Amino acid sequence: MKIDKCWLCSCNVYPGHGIVFVRNDSKIFRFCSSKCHKHFKAKHNPRKIKWTKAYRRLQGKELNNDENIEMELRKNRPVRYNRNLYINAIKAIKQTEKVEYLRKLLLFKQRRRNLVAKKLSLAEKELEKHKDILPLKIDQLDSESMRLETERKSTAHLKVSEPTKFVKNRKNKKKGDDAMDLDS
């Protein structure tokens, strides 16, 4: 099964889904939805539309030059079946998924640190601008207490209790001559 990519947003287009447009010069454009098709017909640039992969990569919001992504690209070369080769390939896929996840996490943390630093600098500028309103002078305020801690916190000291098991309490059935037993 061949999974194509949408020309505009780069998401997966599975067989039997999406829209195909073929230009007069036999160039094939595949689209995942009518939304992407309309943007294409309106001649919009995918690098300027905020929800596309091209925009996110260009703005540094996603990994753009990762070796793992290049390895995943399909190479149209026939390979003779070899059991060991396939076993090694499956192991390599698991490792690359782990590495890719860690790199994405690192990228996210770095972007988050930059945002926090930017917000802090804006807050400090605002304090400096309105220092006459504050009851204390800025020199008396501890700058370290105002800063957010951006370093990684350790969770090793926390103890996690085992999840509680919920047991459904059954009500005791009436037993006797005049009691009605519906279950049996």
Cβ partners under 8 Å of residue 86, min gap 6: none
Q: 7: exposed, middle or buried (C-beta count within 10 Å: 0-12, 13-18, 19+)?
A: buried
Give the list of residues 6+ apart from residue 21 with CB closer than 8 angstroms, or none: 28, 29, 30, 31, 37, 40
pLDDT tens digit at each of 184 positions of the chain: 788 999 999 999 999 999 999 999 999 999 999 999 999 999 999 999 999 988 988 888 887 776 766 666 667 788 888 999 889 988 988 888 888 888 888 888 988 999 999 999 999 998 888 878 777 655 555 555 555 555 556 656 666 566 566 555 655 555 666 666 555 4
111 three-class SS = helix
Task: Count how many Cα atoms sit within 13 Å of the Cα of residue 56 in the half-sphere of its side chain.
Answer: 13
Decide: residue 56, CB within 10 A, 0-12 exposed, 13-18 middle, 19+ buried.
middle
For the chain, the structural domain boundaries read 1-62, 64-147
Question: The domain at 1-62 falls in which architecture?
Answer: Roll (2.30)
Query: Amino acid identity, residue 17?
Result: H
Q: Which residues contact 6 (CB under 8 A, 6 or more apart)?
A: 12, 13, 18, 30, 31, 32, 33, 36
